[in-house]
Structure 1
Amino acid sequence: MTLKSILTATTAVSLIAVGSAAWADGHATHPVTGETLASDQSFTYRDLDESPSIDPGTAEDSAGGDILRDLFEGLMNQAPDGTLVPGVATSFASSDDGLVYTFTLRDNAKWSNGDTVTAGDFEYAWKRAASPELASPYSWFIELMSLENASEVIAGDVDPSELGVTAIDDTTLEVRLTQPLPYFAQMTTHFTTFPVHQATIEAHGDDWTKPGNMVSNGAYVLSEHVPQEKLVRVRNESYWDNDATIIDSVTSLIINDEAVALTRYLAGELDRTDVPAGQFPRLQAEYPEQAVSVPLACSYYYMFNLRDGAPEEIQDANVRKALSLAIDRDIITENVLAGGQESAYTFTHWATAGFETPNIPMASMTQEERNAMAKELMAEAGYADGGLEIDLVYNTSESHKSVAIAVSQMWKQTLGVETTLANQEWQTFLEARSNGDYEVARGGWCADYNEASTFLDLMDSGSGYNDSKYVNAEVDALLAEAKTADNPQPNYDRVEEFIAQDTPIIPIYHYASVKMFAEDLKGWPFDNFQQNWYSRQLYKVAE
C-alpha cells in the first residue's frame, strides 16, 4: 500500500501547542494572531429557510450542511483554504490500485455523551445512509463514492451489510471501491459520510435529532431548535479539540426576507447575512470592510421537466434551447444581482479545480445573435407568433423572484412567451421538483467536492438529483468513463456540449458568495472555494 498521511493544519497545531491557558482569563488574546478577543464569543447568522433535516443520513441542503459541520465531524475536514486536514481520522492509506482506502482514527475522539467515536460508528452511518429503509435523498452520494455494492444496496438487491466499508477495529476503517477515484478523500468531508451514534438513533427513532436527545461528535452540540425560527448550538466540552475552539455559541435565524435580514444585521443583531440582489455596489461603498464577494462553488440554473407526461411543448429541444438563448445572462449578473456573479453557459462553475471551460458556441455570440437564433428555433417548433405558456416555480426568496421576473420579461419580449411565476416554501419546493410537479423550476447546485463531476454527475440518468429526468446514454457513458480517465476533461467537454445541445437545464450564472460580515468576526475561510466553514475556526476580536 502507498501511505498518504495528512498532517494537522498549521493553525490547529499552533492552537493545540498553546493550549487553553492562552485564554484562561476570558479569551484575552488569540493564541496565533495575538489579537485581543472579545468577551462575547457568540456567532449569529441568517438562513433563508429551515433545513429539511439535520440528520447526516437524510440532510440534503447546503444550509443544513453548515449546521452539520458544527454538530458532527467526519473522517477529514477542510482547512480555511479548502485543503484536506484531519478530522476523526489522523491519516489514510490507499492501495496501489486505488481500490482500498484505510483510515486510521484518533483514539481521543468522543461523542458528546462521553462515548468513544469508533470506526464502527462510520460503518454504521454509511450503511444506514445507503439503506432503502432510510430512503435518504442523498443515498446516491454513497453510490457516487463508488463503494463496493453501493448500487445494489441502494436498489434493495443486496443487504446493507455488504456495502464496501468495514471497521477492522475501533481505530481502523477499511473502504473498498469498485473503481479508483482521485478525489475520494475529498468526498469524506461531506455530511453524508459523518458518523452517527447508533444507540441514540435506536433509542429515540426519528426524534433523535431533537435537543436533549441528539448525541454528536462535532465541536458543538444542539441546545435549542425552534422550527422555522432558530437553531442554537453550543460548545461540546467532549470534543477532542475543544481547547482550540473560541466561539462559544452559534445561532442560525430563519429570515425569509433578505431586506429584513439586512436591517437586522445593520442594527447589530446578526454577524453575517446575505446581500440582497442588486445592492452589493452600494453596500460595498458604504461598508467596504463588511461587504464581501468571493467565487462560490455553486451554479444557478433552470430545469425542465422531461418526464413522460410532462407538457409536450417543453419536450421539444428546440423550444428549450430557444428559451436558453433568449436569456440575457449579463443583464442578470450585472444589473439584477450585481454581486460578482458570472454569466454561465456551462453547468460546471468556471473556478472548479482542474476544469477548463469548453467553447460553447452560445457563449461567444452576441445577445442579438442569440435572440435571432431563438426566434428561428421557436418558429421551427411552431411558435413563430407566440402562443407558448410556461409555469416557472422557485423557492421563496426576493433574489429568486427578481431573477424569475427578469427572465420572464426576456422570454416575453423576445419570443412572446407568457410565463406564470409561482414561489413555494423550501420543503414544498424540494418535494415538487423531486416528484415532477413542475414545468420549469429554479435549481441551484453547490459542489460536494471540488471537481467537475460534482456538477456533471447530475446529468447522469441515474442521479438522485437529476430532477429533470434527463436521459442520454452517451452522457451516462462519458461520465462513467471520466471517473477512471487519466484526463477526464474531454469527457467533461462533451457532456457540457450535450447540455447546451439538448438543454435539459439552462445554466444562468455561477455563484459568488455575497455577504455582509461584522467587522469583529474573524477567521472566515474566504479562500475556500466551497465556502465550507466551521464555527470552531471563527473568533471575534475586541473593538
Structure 2
Amino acid sequence: MPEAQVILQILEGLITVDSDGNSQPGVALSWESTPDFKQWTFHLRHDAKWSDGKPVTSHDFVFAWQRLVDPATASPYASYLTYMQIENAQDIIDDKQKTEALGVKAPDDYTFVLTLSHPIPYLPSMTTHQSVLPLPKHIVEKFGDDWVKVENHVGNGAYKLTKHVINEKIEFVRNPLYWNDKETVIDKATFLAIQNPSTDVQRYRAGEVEITDHALPPEQFPKLKAEMPDQVFTSRTLGTYFYEINNTKAPFNDLRVCKALNLALDRNIITDKVLGQGQMPTYVFTPTYIAEGGAIQRPEYTKLSMKERNQQAVQLLKEAGFSKSNPLKFTILYNTNENHKKVAIAAASIWKNNTGGLVDVKLENQEWKTYIETRHNKQFDIARAGWSADYNQATTFINYFLSNSSNNLAFYKSSVYDQAVNESYQFSEATDRMKAYAKAEAILAADAPIIPIYNYVNPRLVKPYVKGYEGKDPQDIILLRNLYIIKH
C-alpha cells in the first residue's frame, strides 16, 4: 500500500476517488457499458496533460495495459487484468498470445474501449487501481526502466516528483498542468520512509510530521487517544491480516496440521490484548463488510468454545504424528516491524499454550525486499501477510487465491475453488454473485491454506490544522490534492 500512496499522487487513472472513497471522474469524463456488461467505453477529457505538456490519450492507456500483461514486464500485478476479465489477458501473461490481442482499443485519441470475456457490472470501480494508470508512452519508450527516475519522470497526477532519496524521503511539488489544478491547495509535500511506528510518533510530537503512517504503537495508543483525541483517527479498512502457510512444504501439506493451527489460535487475545486499537478478529479471508461480501459465513468451528477448539486441535496434531517429545516445529517469517513482532510473539505463545506444548514456534524477521523474495521463492514455513482491497468489491479478495494468481504466495491450488470463483463471473445479479463468493470462501476455510487473524483498522495521527482527511475512505487512500492547511 505505501507505494500506491506515492503512485496515486503522480499518476491519475480513468476514475479517481474523493476523500470518502467515492468514485469521481479522473481522466475519463464519462463511461458506459453494453447491456451485458461485457464492453465498456470510456470518454477521456481533452484537457488532461502529461507534466511535459503532451496530451494524455487513450493510446497511453492501451500502452500501459498491454505493458502490464507483457511477460517481459513480469509485473506482480499482471493478474489484475485477468481479474478485470479483459479479453485474452491470461493467454498473454502465459505467453500464448501477443500483447496486441488484449481486449483494449483506442478507436481515437479520446475513446478507450474494453472488451471483457465475462460481465463485470462493477468494473468502473476497478479502474482506480494503481496498476491500471496510464503511462507516458513517449517517455517510457525513450528511457525504458529509467523513466521512473526523478530527472526523467513525467506524470499526469496533481503532483510531480522532485526528489527521491531511497529509504529516506520522496518530495512532490504541485503539477500546474494537472487538469484540476485550480482545486489543489498544497504546493509541496514530503513522504518520509519511517519503518518504526514509535519513531513516527516521536517525529509527529516534534512537529516534523503532519500525518503519521497507518500504524501506531499499541502500547502508546491509549495514552495518545487520551491526550489528543481529536488527532487520532482509527478508520476501519477493507483489509485482512493473516498468516500464509507454505502449502508446498511438509507438514503443511497435511490438512490436519493447517486446521489445528486455525483452531488453536485465539484471535481475541491478539486484537484485544496485543493491539487494542479496534481491530476485529476474523476467521475468513474476505471482509464480510466489503461490497457483495455479506453472504460469507464464519466457519463452523467458531461456534465452539476456545477449550473445545483446543481439544480438537490437539487431537488433529496427535493424529498427524506430533507429541510433546516430537512437537510441530516451524518458523513465522515477518517483515521487520514492531507490531508484526508483537503479533508473532503472541501467536507463538498462544499456539504453545493452547496445544499443551505440541507446537514449538521460532520467529524470523527480514527487511521488506528480502522478505518478499523469500516468500516468492517458497523458502518459508508460515509468513505474515496482509491484503488490502484494490477496490470495494468482494472479488478483490476472492481472486487472490486462484491457482494462477500472481498474488497467491501460499501456493494454494484448488480446481474446486477456481471453479467456484469463475462461476461468480457468469452472474449479472449481485445476489447470485454473493452466493458464489460465500461458496468460494467456505471452500477456502475448509482447505485452511491460510490462518486469517484480524481485519485492519488504520490508526494514525493527523495534525488539527490539516483538513480534508476524515478517515472515511474504506481503502484509506490519501490524495494530497484533497488536503489543505488552515492557519495555526
Counterpart Cα distance in 2 of 1:266 and 1:70: 26
Q: Distance in 1 between matches of 2:393 and 2:189?
A: 30
Asked if 1:479 corresponds to 2:421, the answer is yes
**Match of 2:404, SS?**
coil
Query: Partner residue of 1:155?
Result: 94
Pairing partner for 1:173 from 112, 115, 124 = 112
The Cα offsets for residues 224-275 of structure 1, whole Å up to 9 and x where unpaired, read as 0011111111111111111110111221111121111111111111111131
Which residue does 2:338 correspond to in 1? Answer: 398
1:44 corresponding residue in structure 2: none
Letter in 1 for 2:481: R
Q: Deviations over 1:283-335 (max 9, x none)?
A: 1111101111121111000011112xx2x211111111111111110110011
2:463 counterpart residue number: 518
Q: Which residue, 85, 92, 95 being the options, matches 2:24? A: 85
Write out per-residue CA displacement over residues 159-206 of structure 1, whole angstroms, 9 at most, x where no aligned residue: 101111011111111111111112111110001110011121122222
The 1-side partners of 2:195 and 2:478 are apart by 22
Per the alignment, residue 9 of structure 1 pairs with none
| Aligned counterpart in structure 2 of residue 213 of structure 1, from 145, 152, 169 | 152
Is residue 149–residue 162 contact of structure 1 (8 Å, CA) maintained in 2? yes
In structure 1, what is the equivalent of residue 252 of structure 2?
Answer: 314
Confirm or deny: 8 A CA contact 1:295 1:351 kept in the other structure: no
- Tell me the equivalent position of 1:531: 476
- Distance in 2 between residues matched to 1:108 and 1:524, nearest whole Å: 27
CA distance in 1, matches of 2:425, 2:302: 27
Q: Is the 8 A contact 1:525 1:532 kept in 2?
A: no
Partner of 2:24: helix, strand, or coil? strand
Q: CA RMSD in A?
A: 1.2
CA contact (8 A) 1:302 1:442 kept: yes
SS at match of 1:120: helix
CA contact (8 A) 2:292 2:433 kept: no
Q: Where in structure 2 are the equivalents of 1:272-421 lying within 5 Å?
A: 272-273=211-212, 274-307=215-248, 310=249, 312-356=250-294, 357-385=296-324, 386-415=326-355, 416=357, 417-421=359-363
Equivalent residue, structure 2, for 1:204: 143
Is the Cα contact below 8 Å between 2:234 and 2:471 reproduced in 1?
no
Q: Distance in 2 between matches of 1:327 and 1:282?
A: 28
The letter for the 2-side match of 1:276 is P
Alignment-derived partner of residue 495 in structure 1: 440
Give unmatched runs, 5+ long, in structure 1: 1-61
Instruction: Provide the C-alpha distance between the structure 1 equivalents of 2:478 and 2:288, rounded to a whole number of angstroms.
Output: 21
Shift of 1:383: 1.3
Contact 2:169 2:192 in 1 (8 A): yes
Partners of 1:279 and 1:325 in 2: CA distance: 31
Deviations 1:320-374 (A, max 9, x none): 1111111110110011111110001111113212322414212222222221111
One-letter amino acid of the structure 2 residue matched with residue 180 of structure 1: P
Q: How does 1:427-466 map to 2 (within 5 A)?
A: 427-466=369-408
Paired residue type of 1:498 = I
Q: Contact between 2:32 and 2:42, CA under 8 Å: does it hold in 1?
A: yes
For residues 301 and 187 of structure 2, the distance between their equivalents in structure 1, rounded to whole angstroms, comes to 50
SS in 2 for 1:272: coil
Q: Contact between 1:219 and 1:242, CA under 8 Å: does it hold in 2?
A: yes
**Partner in structure 1 of residue 76 of structure 2:** 137
Which aligned pairs between 1:101-116 and structure 2 lie closer than 5 A? 101-116=40-55
| Displacement after TM superposition at 1:207 (Å) | 1.4
The aligned residue for residue 15 of structure 2 is 76
> In the alignment, is residue 127 of structure 1 matched against residue 66 of structure 2?
yes
> In the TM superposition, what is the alpha-carbon distance from 1:533 to its structure 2 partner?
2.2
Normalising by structure 1, report the TM-score.
Answer: 0.87
- Letter of the structure 1 residue corresponding to residue 318 of structure 2: A
Q: Which residue of 1 aligns with 2:187?
A: 248
Q: Is the 8 A contact 2:293 2:438 kept in 1?
A: no
> Which moved further from structure 2: 507-516 or 431-440?
431-440
Q: Deviations over 1:99-146 (max 9, x none)?
A: 111100000000000000001100100001110111111000011111
Bigger shift: residues 468-477 or 485-494: 485-494
Residue 16 of structure 1 corresponds to which residue in structure 2? none
Tell me the distance in 2 between the aligned counterparts of 1:99 and 1:373.
47
SS in 2 for 1:479: helix
State whether structure 2 residue 40 is matched by structure 1 residue 98.
Answer: no
Shift of 1:413: 1.5
* Contact kept? 1:350, 1:510, Cα under 8 Å: no
Q: Which residue is 1:259 aligned to?
A: 198
Shift of residue 456 of structure 1?
1.5
Distance of 1:142 and 1:195 partners within structure 2 = 14
Aligned-pair distance for 1:525?
Answer: 4.5
**Percentage identity across aligned positions?**
39
- Distance in 2 (CA, whole Å) between partners of 1:186 and 1:509 is 25
- The alpha carbon displacement at 1:501 in A equals 1.7
- Partners of 1:103 and 1:256 lie apart in 2 by 39
**In 1, distance between residues paired with 2:178 and 2:435?**
45
Question: 2:170: which partner in 1?
Answer: 231
- 1:371 corresponds to which letter in structure 2? N
Secondary structure of the residue aligned to 2:247 is coil
1:331 maps to a residue whose letter is I
CA contact under 8 A between 1:525 and 1:533: conserved in structure 2? no
Residues paired across the two proteins, number? 479
